[in-house]
């Protein structure tokens, strides 16, 4: 089992600090989640149904009807490799490691490459990447992804793009074209866990050509997403006012975080997290953890990822902890 952010209970036990005292910056999840209203009690008694409006709301939000609702995009990460005969897959690295593990377990040969041009030049049938990338926070332009899909199509390959952090900048996403006549070999993963802050609901989507969706649907089985989760997801996807206000707030918060981290190393950012490149990853992680601030540590290639603080008190605690940091000699 791979390590992930959000293991707050484990951190509390390890450092002997009560769970309630922690600031969790380890996940990149919107700290001000979509405010789910009270639900119809029947949600808890009836099996979920495909005609409840969720698919329609998702198609309108993402601009693509070629979709499958999933119990989080993790289901697609684990299921997609089984839809392909074992081949070589170029994976832009570093990346979200669940992708690499799933393709390797399914018998594919994984080639870790640092850039999209290098991945395309490797002439592997398939290319896999996250955009924006997790954990580096680098973002490729939409035009580059569509050009890559076209190049791969000419040699019978596929482009798989995980857009878990793409919602704050929807114009740069490519989900709308996945499985279309213009990009039939494009597969895109999306999730309500990050931008909407609904990680606990476990709702995700995959966009692809119908034949891939049909095979993945058979693999996952019936009722993959709980009725209450579907109800909340439908409301969140349709709430345009909340989405617009949240994009503005996240952009401001991300810039504030990047400015606060800038004195300590090279910072790259998305709207939902900032990544600090430093030679002192382990020491800074430990310094913050002993002050009950949990970040996400990547020893290779020397990155510390910071999610956004929530209330102003959390921002002040982070600022104070950073002010107390003395760079090791």
Supply the DSSP string of 289-301, one letter for each residue. Answer: HTTTEE-EEETTT
Same domain, residue pair 230 and 248: no
Give domain status of residue 1, yes or no.
Answer: no
Q: Which of these three, 204, 219, 238, is where a domain ends?
A: 238
The domain that contains 126 carries what CATH number?
Answer: 3.40.640.10
2 inside domain: no
Question: How many angstroms from the chain centroid is the CA of residue 184?
Answer: 23
Give the structural domain span for 97: 41-238
In a domain, 282, yes or no: yes
Assigned domain for 230 exists: yes
Among residues 211, 238, 265, which one ends one of the domains?
Answer: 238
Coil vs helix vs strand at 146: helix
- The pLDDT assigned to 218 comes to 95
Burial (0-12, 13-18, 19+ Cβ within 10 Å), 53? middle
- Same-domain status, 80 and 171: yes
Q: Is 207 found in the same domain as 143?
A: yes
Residues 72 and 226: their CA atoms lie apart, in Å, by 11
Summarize pLDDT for 53-79 with one digit per residue, the tens: 999 999 999 999 999 999 999 999 999
Q: Is there a domain that residue 210 lies in?
A: yes
For residues 200 and 87, membership in a common domain is answered with yes
- 143 and 64 part of one domain: yes
What integer pLDDT is reported at residue 198 of this predicted model?
Answer: 97
pLDDT at 327: 73
pTM of the entire predicted model:
0.95
Residues 6+ apart with CB under 8 A from 41: none
Tens of pLDDT, residues 195-243: 999 999 999 999 999 999 999 999 999 999 999 999 999 999 999 999 9
Q: Cα(24)–Cα(5) distance, rounded to whole angstroms?
A: 9
- pLDDT value of residue 2: 52
pLDDT at site 326: 82
Q: H or E element: which one contains 33?
A: none
Residues 6+ away with beta carbon under 8 Å from 293:
22, 23, 25, 317, 318, 321
Query: Would you say 128 and 103 are in contact if contact means Cβ atoms under 8 Å apart?
Result: yes
Distance CA 254, CA 271 (A): 5
Same domain, 55 and 115: yes
pLDDT along the chain (329 residues), means of 10: 72 94 96 95 92 96 98 94 94 93 95 96 94 96 98 96 98 98 98 97 97 95 95 98 98 98 97 97 96 93 95 98 85
Domain assignment present for 329: no
Is the same domain home to 23 and 145? no
Statement to judge: residues 116 and 193 lie in one domain: yes
233: left (phi over 0), alpha (psi -120 to 50) or beta: alpha
The structural domain count of the chain equals 2
Residues 78 and 151 in one domain: yes
Calculate the alpha carbon distances from 27 to 134, 227, 229, 324 in Å: 11, 25, 20, 24
- Here the CATH number for the domain that contains residue 290 is 3.90.1150.10
3-state secondary structure of 108: coil
**Residue 139 shares a structural domain with residue 86:** yes
Residues 234, 231: Cα–Cα separation, whole Å: 5
CB 228 within 8 A of CB 39: yes
**Whether residue 174 sits in one domain with residue 51:** yes
Please report whether residue 132 resides in a domain: yes
Q: Are residues 75 and 189 in the same domain?
A: yes
Question: CB of 252 within 8 A of CB of 71?
Answer: no
Q: Which of 206, 238, 270 is the last residue of a domain?
A: 238
**Does the residue 3 lie in any domain?**
no
């Amino acid at each position: 089992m791979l390590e992930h952010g959000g293991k707050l209970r484990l951190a509390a036990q390890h450092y002997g600090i009560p769970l309630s005292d922690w600031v969790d910056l380890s996940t990149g999840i919107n700290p001000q989640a979509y405010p789910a209203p009270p639900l119809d009690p029947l949600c808890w008694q009836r099996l979920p149904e495909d005609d409840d409006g969720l698919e329609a709301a998702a198609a309108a939000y993402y601009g693509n009807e070629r979709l499958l609702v999933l119990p989080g995009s993790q289901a697609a990460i684990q299921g997609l490799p089984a839809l392909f005969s074992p081949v070589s897959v170029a994976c832009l690295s570093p990346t979200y490691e669940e992708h690499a593990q799933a393709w390797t377990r399914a018998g594919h040969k994984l080639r870790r490459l640092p850039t999209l041009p290098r991945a395309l030049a490797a002439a592997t049938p398939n290319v896999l990447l996250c955009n924006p990338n997790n954990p580096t926070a680098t973002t490729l332009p939409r035009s580059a992804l569509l050009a890559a899909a076209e190049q791969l199509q000419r040699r019978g390959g596929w482009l798989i793009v995980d857009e878990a952090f793409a919602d704050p900048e929807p114009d740069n996403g490519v989900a709308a074209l996945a499985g279309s006549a213009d990009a039939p070999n494009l597969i895109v993963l999306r999730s309500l866990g990050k931008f909407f802050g609904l990680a606990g609901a476990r709702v995700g989507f995959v966009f692809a050509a119908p034949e891939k969706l049909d095979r993945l649907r058979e693999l996952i089985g019936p009722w993959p997403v709980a009725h209450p989760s579907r109800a909340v997801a439908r409301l969140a996807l349709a709430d345009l006012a909340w989405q617009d206000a949240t994009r503005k707030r996240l952009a401001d918060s991300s810039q504030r975080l990047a400015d606060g981290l800038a004195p300590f190393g090279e910072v790259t950012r998305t709207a939902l997290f900032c990544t600090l490149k430093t030679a002192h990853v382990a020491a800074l992680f430990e310094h913050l953890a002993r002050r009950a601030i949990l970040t996400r540590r990547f020893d290779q290639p020397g990155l510390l990822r910071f999610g956004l603080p929530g209330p102003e008190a959390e921002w002040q605690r982070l600022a104070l902890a950073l002010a107390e940091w003395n760079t090791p000699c």
